[in-house]
């Protein structure tokens, strides 16, 4: 069991918060806060753990990748895979937002996760989410279907049927006022006959209420500047992408290295300590100045250093709790 220690609760005494149920164990005041104002750890390109040497080139691949993949498969894979642990493990270490990119295959009616090359077929991962929310009724999981490659209108309809059949009443319907969704309001759905209704999947891109602007930076200084200056709408959720994006030139000079070593580790070592200075809460909070507050924050290789990324982002909610207490 992975624990987050020294979290200050509503009585200002130290608590121990189990990462696999951190939402359910938040202080009561935070369960009344709109979900879009909480700090939530997520994973970037969540399903790339399923990419292997047998993976084929996918529709979202850049033209240069399609040409070089047969010759430099190993190198390309080292710079394509962004996560090392599967969906269940990500959820157990506190990840509550999954960044999903889907593609079809010619002559195949299944859907696959993708990041330039094909990862796994979607069924197992989606069932892992269902199994998790079934056994963790206080937790909320956001499934953000970011991109669809090779999809027809019929494919979109078929995907919707799969999601509805799998999750049913667990899905939170589209609501114009996202400020009305709180952990407690989701929990109350149980009283309306919805099984495990405190678990939710939300398709951010389809709903259009969870913007996720791409920093497109390969240097820590550029990424930090982006994160500090990006703006969000007060009525929407938001995703801060704490990720470095290698350009072809960047990779060329680091050919034998990996995305983990050259991008994820610098974010952990240099960007994550700066994120401690960020706060969740309403975007117009005066105490935040011009900096947009965090909601969802995503990163690569979220398991590193005993899930330090999840722990850091979750701890930001204690700033919000202090502000609520100070203003009560």
Taking the CA of residue 70 as centre, how many other CA atoms within 13 Å lie in the half-sphere pointing to its CB? 3
pLDDT above 50: residue 75: yes
Burial status of residue 281 (CB atoms within 10 A of its CB: 0-12, 13-18, 19 or more): buried
The DSSP bridge pattern shows strands 97-105 and 3-8 to be unpaired
Q: What is the token pair recorded at 237?
A: 């959720």
For residue 92, the model assigns a pLDDT of 98
24-55 per-position pLDDT tens digit:
999 999 999 999 999 999 999 999 999 999 99
3-state DSSP assignment of residue 257: coil
- The answer, yes or no, to whether residue 66 has pLDDT greater than 80, is yes
Backbone dihedral region for residue 188 (phi beyond 0: left; psi -120 to 50: alpha; all else: beta): alpha
pLDDT of residue 308: 96
Q: The whole model's pTM is what? A: 0.89
What does DSSP say about strands 108-114 and 97-105: parallel, antiparallel, or unpaired? antiparallel
Q: By mean pLDDT, which of 100-104, 203-207, 226-230 is the weakest?
A: 203-207
Q: Percent of the chain beyond pLDDT 90?
A: 62
Lowest-confidence pick of 10-19, 215-224, 267-276: 10-19
Instruction: Assess whether pLDDT exceeds 60 at residue 202.
Output: no
Residue-wise pLDDT for 263-284, tens only, equals 999 999 999 999 999 999 987 6
- Output the pLDDT for position 286: 52
Tell me what pLDDT residue 289 has.
Answer: 57
Say if residue 93's pLDDT is above 90: yes
Per-residue confidence (pLDDT) for residue 154, from 0 to 100 = 95
C-alpha–C-alpha distance, residues 130 and 128, integer Å: 5
pLDDT over 80 at 178, yes or no: no
Neighbours of 207 (CB within 10 A): 17
Give yes or no for residue 11 having a pLDDT over 50: no
Q: Report how far apart, in Å, the C-alpha atoms of 209 and of each of 203, 273, 303, 309, 314 are.
A: 9, 28, 28, 24, 22
- Using CA atoms, how far residue 317 sits from 97, 126, 196, 238, 277, in Å, is 16, 28, 24, 15, 12
The phi and psi torsions of 58 (rounded to 5 degrees) equal: -105, 170
- Segment 84-106 shows an average pLDDT of 97
109 compared with 290, residue with greater pLDDT:
109
Over 50: is that where the pLDDT of 194 sits? no
Helix or strand holding residue 146 (H, E): strand 142-149
Mean pLDDT of the chain: 85
Of residues 173 and 187, more confidently modeled: 187
In DSSP terms, 89 is beta-bridged to none
Within 8-152, residue ranges assigned H as helices are: 63-68, 73-78, 87-92, 123-135
What is the reported pLDDT for 56? 92
pLDDT for 16 equals 64
Least confident span in 146-155, 174-183, 266-275 = 174-183
Which pLDDT does position 291 carry in this prediction? 82
What are the tens digits of pLDDT across the range 290-306? Answer: 788 999 999 999 999 99
What is the arithmetic mean of pLDDT over 144-157?
93
């Amino acid at each position: 069991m992975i624990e987050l220690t020294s979290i200050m609760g509503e009585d200002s005494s130290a608590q121990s918060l189990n990462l696999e149920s951190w939402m359910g164990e938040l202080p009561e005041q935070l369960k009344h806060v709109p979900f879009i104002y909480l700090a939530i750890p997520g994973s970037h390109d969540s399903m790339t753990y399923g990419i292997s040497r047998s993976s084929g080139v996918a529709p979202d691949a850049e033209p240069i990748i399609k040409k070089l993949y047969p010759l430099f498969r190993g190198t390309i894979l080292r710079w394509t895979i962004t996560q090392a642990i599967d969906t269940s493990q990500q959820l157990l270490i506190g990840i509550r937002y999954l960044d999903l990119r889907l593609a079809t295959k010619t002559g195949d009616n299944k859907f696959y996760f993708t990041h330039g090359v094909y990862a796994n077929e979607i069924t197992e991962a989606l069932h892992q989410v269902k199994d998790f929310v079934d056994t963790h009724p206080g937790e909320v999981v956001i499934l953000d279907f970011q991109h669809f490659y090779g999809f027809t209108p019929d494919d979109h309809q078929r995907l919707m049927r799969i999601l509805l059949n799998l999750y049913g009443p667990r899905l939170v319907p589209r609501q114009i006022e996202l400020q009305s969704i709180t952990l407690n309001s989701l929990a109350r759905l149980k009283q309306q006959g919805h099984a495990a209704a405190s678990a939710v999947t939300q398709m951010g891109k389809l709903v259009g209420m969870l913007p996720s602007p791409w920093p497109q930076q390969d240097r820590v200084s550029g990424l930090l500047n982006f994160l500090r200056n990006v703006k969000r709408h007060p009525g929407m959720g938001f995703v801060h992408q704490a990720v470095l994006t290698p350009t072809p030139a960047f990779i060329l000079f680091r050919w034998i290295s990996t995305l983990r070593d050259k991008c994820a580790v610098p974010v952990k070592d240099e960007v994550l300590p700066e994120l401690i200075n960020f706060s969740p809460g309403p975007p117009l909070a005066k105490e935040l100045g011009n900096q947009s507050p965090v909601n969802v924050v995503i990163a690569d290789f979220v398991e590193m250093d005993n899930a330090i990324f999840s722990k850091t982002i979750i701890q930001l909610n204690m700033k919000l709790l202090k502000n609520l207490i100070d203003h009560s």
